[in-house]
Amino acid sequence: MKKTTKFGLVMTITLLVGTFLPIYSLTSSVSAAEAVPKIEAEAAFILEPSTGKILMNQNGDKKLGIASMTKMISEYLIFEAIEEGTIKWDQVVPVSDYAQQLSQNNSLSNVPMRQDETYTFKELYQAMAIYSANAATVAMAETIAGSESEFVDKMREKVESWGIKDYELYNSTGLSNSDLMGNIYPGSNEKSENAMSARSIAIVAQNLLNAYPEVLETTSIPKMTFKEGTTDAIDMDNWNWMLKGLVSERANVDGLKTGTTDFAGATFTGTAEENGMRIITVIMNATDGQEDLQKRFKETDKMMDWAFSNWEKVQVYKKNDSLDNIKPLKVEKGKTNSLKVAVASDVSMLVRVNTDLKDKDVLFTAKKNLMNDTGKVEAPVKKGAKLGIAEILLRNDDLGYIDGTKGAEVAVIAAQKVEKANIFVLAGRWIKVFVSDIF
């Protein structure tokens, strides 16, 4: 959903509509929406990625440590490089002295690497996505960008392109700079830490899932053996314990990334799909999360229970439905003097269950230069011609959308054709106005 640009002449109209067709119905046992739960974490956030609808925001705008959730940005850049053809999955990744030495630190999430062994991008990516392997991430970053610092520059450019401003990024992994053996980003120091708000991490996850949903093919793997069949084989259990067969298992969870450092605490970006609706959850610094290792998953489970039980997706309009409660636009020099408007596409919205959908506002913004100086549309107008944008707002929704808009947007088109009146009709209208002015 993109923010409206290059449009003027704003008109706000209250729209009352009688009947709506549910797309995804929740169980009939839900009689009323439940209150938003209090999550035991420094911040918590829920987002529906396809629409960008925010479902929960608990302190979600405070910048906090993100630890290995950083790797979602690295994953995006890896998929992007694959898509652009600059690297291939079966391509061998060189292991630098730095990456090799870092891989030997057993206190960090790692798969030990040797410089006399070969590792492909696919192998190292799997180690990163499943086991949060840090040195593997560094080796891939160095291969893609030339150095980890140059890769961080790409990370910064990418998040800025997504509108994220409240970030600090110093490495590709989310490790504390103090763990990097002096290989730190220029201008940073050993106390520098990667940080963002929960809102911004949700934006990262949204962009990753929307652009490269195939990431879930790997993030959903609970266990895998690195370099299976070789003397270097290492069993990797996914740090996301909500996956099938793991200690905090929840059905339908298929991602996305954990992170833990002393600075960030226990963090987790989760995702699951139920009843045709996917959500992204973000937990930042779960309370006592480094003592209770399941805490971040317990709180995520609470968030998912609430979101899937209290939100539903409904169809508000079908393509070409007339916006009958919007006053027809005035037409200049047309066979008719007015023009009805319609929606250009289906419109679905995420709403709390039992929301009164009859009570909404529609903000209509006319296309730039659509109106003449007298505030009219000049004929001729083709049926289906784009006239502007309508933003549909539910009055009791104060969360809005991740891009800053408050409602769902849809293109508005002409519901009918208006031909230009001939000279005789125009002359007759002029005479009628002239005579009425006299008398």
Greatest Cα-to-Cα distance within the chain, rounded to the nearest angstrom: 103
Cα distance between residue 359 and residue 343, in whole Å: 18
Identify the active-site residue in 71, 257, 295, 360: 71
Identify the active-site residue in 132, 192, 197, 220: 132
Identify the active-site residue in 53, 68, 154, 158: 68
The answer to whether 161 is a known catalytic residue is no
Q: Is 101 helix (H, G, I), strand (E, B) or coil?
A: helix
Transcribe 318-340 into DSSP letters.
-TT-B-TTSPPEEEESBSSSEE-
Q: What is the DSSP letter of 292?
A: S
- Residue 148 CB burial class (10 angstroms; 0-12, 13-18, ≥19): buried
Which residues lie across from 11 on neighbouring strands?
364
The answer to whether 348 is a known catalytic residue is no
Q: What is the DSSP letter of 328?
A: P
Q: Cβ distance 271 to 253 under 8 Å?
A: yes
* Close Cβ partners of 112 (under 8 Å, ≥ 6 residues apart): 103, 104, 232, 234
Q: What is the DSSP letter of 230?
A: S
Which residues lie across from 388 on neighbouring strands?
366, 412
Is the sign of the CA dihedral 144, 149, 151, 153 positive or negative? negative
**What Rg, from alpha-carbon coordinates, does the chain have?**
27
The answer to whether 68 is a known catalytic residue is yes
- Residue 19 CB burial class (10 angstroms; 0-12, 13-18, ≥19): exposed
Enumerate the active-site residues. 68, 71, 132
